[in-house]
Every structure is written in structure tokens, then in C-alpha cells.
Amino acid sequence: MLRYANPTRFLQLSSALVPWLGAASAALFAIGLYLGFRVPPDYQQGETVRVMFIHVPAAWTAMMGYGLMAAASLVGLVWRHPLADTAARAAAPLGALFTALGLVTGSLWGRPMWGAWWVWDGRLTSFLLLEFLYLGYIALWNAIEDEARAARVCAILALVGAVNLPIIEFSVDWWTTLHQGESILRKGGPLISSVYLWPLFTMALAYTFLFFTLWLLRIETEILRRRARNALLAEGP
């Protein structure tokens, strides 16, 4: 693993992986959308059940993104490896986007089903907090000029914010929420019919692969920018 912490080796591996990950994501999106629009309407939710195929994957990917950002931050903080800091920083805007998509699609699903665009229940509020954590992390990076210091401060924020992940996950068990309880990844198996699970898991994989494709590309971009900056500095005034 540490072998690939070298930027040059990382670029080689990433360049080889990105086309495959991107192609796999595109294929999974095509299959997931096809399956998602072929399933019959739900007997209670009607056609709105189809929002699940984009809302749940966006929410899962947003949480996975934060987990990865926190893990990279920990590595950066403990081993002081610049590539780990770069990886953490590169994940933040993507995580913020997926969180925003989870919030917007959730609201568009909630309005016809609950009669409200938004409620301040445990799940929704903790998920909104995730968005603020991402945005705060990005703002903090941009506010501190010294990169090494910015990386350290942001890593601490990312690690403290990671406490929010189990809160999001278990909020529906801990508090009475309008948001439905855990119905997919639960002990005793999913409560959802397999008819809906196939398109859901296919779309979840598509979102995950897309996240990794974009994440690797963003890390590559940052490595190249640093090299350009160093080349400029080497040239001198």
C-alpha cells in the first residue's frame, strides 16, 4: 500500500484504473436506470419509489466519502504524508456534492410522501450537518495559507466530524423520526422486495465507482498542480 503513496507510482496506478472505473460506472448507470424504470410502481408509494434509486445511493456515497476523507486525514496526521492530505482534500467537494444530491432528492421524495419538504428529525438534521462539515472543511482549507498547517487543522476537523457518521446511521433507531427506519442493511435481511433491491444496489455501485473515478482524477490534478508550482519555484524570478 505504501508503495503507492509515492506520487509517481500513484499516478501510474491511477491512470490505469480511472478508465476502467469510469467505464464500469457508466455501464452500471445504464443498467441501473434501465432496471429502475422497469420495476412496477410500489403499492403504497406509487411512482415515487423510483426516487429511492438515486436518493439512497447518493446518501451512502456521501457517507462513504466522509469516511474516506477522515481515514486519509488520520493517515496524513499520523504519518505526515502529503498524498494522504491531498486525498482528503480531493474527497471533500465530491462528498459535499453527493450530500447535496441526497438532501435535494430526499426532499423531493419527502414532499409527496410526508407532505413536507423538510422536517427537523434526527436523520435529516444529522445529514444536513454532514453537508456543513464538508463545506466547513473546504472553507477552512481555503482560509489557511500555509498548506501543512491547513492540512493538520482540517484533518482534526474531519476526524471530529466523523462522530456524525454513526449518528446518521443510528439516528432512526435512537430517536423517533419521520424518516423510515433501517430497511436495507439490517439484521434479519432487507424489508424491501428484491424487485427494488436490484436496481438500488446497481445504482449504489454506479455511484460508488463514479466517486472513486472522480476522486482519483482530483488527486491526480492536485499532484500535477503541485509539480507545476514546484517547477515555477525552481525556475526562480
Q: Does the footprint of other proteins cover residue 214 (CB under 8 A)?
A: yes
Q: How many residues does the chain have?
A: 237
Smallest distance from other proteins to CB 179, Å:
16
Per CB under 8 A, does 220 bind other proteins? yes
d(CA 204, CA 35): 13
Instruction: Provide, rounded to whole angstroms, the least separation between the CB of residue 33 and other proteins.
Output: 9
Of the candidate residues 58, 77, 84, 87, the single one contacting other proteins (CB under 8 A): 58
Cα radius of gyration rounded to whole Å, the chain:
20
Q: Which residue number, 156 or 193, has a Cβ lying nearer to other proteins? A: 193
195 belongs to the binding site for other proteins (CB under 8 A): no
Residues with Cβ within 8 Å of 82's Cβ and at least 6 positions away in sequence, in order, are 76, 151
Site for other proteins in 84-123 (CB under 8 A): 94, 97, 100-101, 104-105, 108-109, 111-112
Residue numbers 147-176 binding other proteins by CB under 8 A: none
Q: Does the footprint of other proteins cover residue 54 (CB under 8 A)?
A: yes
Q: Does residue 204 interact with other proteins by CB under 8 A?
A: no
Q: How far is the CB of 49 from other proteins (least distance, A)?
A: 9
Of the candidates 89, 107, 86, the one whose C-alpha atom is nearest the C-alpha of residue 4 is 86
- The single-letter DSSP state of residue 192 is S
| Number of amino acids touching other proteins (CB under 8 A) | 34
Handedness of CA 164, 85, 98, 39 (dihedral sign): negative
Mapping DSSP to helix (H, G, I), strand (E, B) and coil, where does residue 236 land? coil
* Piece of the chain touching other proteins by CB under 8 A; list 120-128, 139-147, 161-169, 225-233: 225-233
* DSSP H stretches of helix in the chain: 7-38, 52-79, 82-114, 122-143, 147-161, 164-174, 194-235
For 160-171, letters b (16+ CB in 10 Å) and e give ebbebbebbeeb
Q: Is the dihedral of CA 55, 57, 61, 64 positive or negative?
A: positive
Cβ(92)–Cβ(74) under 8 Å? no
Minimum CB–partner distance for residue 228 and other proteins (Å)? 5
Q: Measured from the CB of residue 64, what is the shortest distance to other proteins in angstroms? A: 16
List residues near other proteins by CB under 8 A: 37, 41, 46-48, 50-51, 54-55, 58, 94, 97, 100-101, 104-105, 108-109, 111-112, 210, 214, 217-218, 220-222, 224-225, 227-228, 231-232, 235
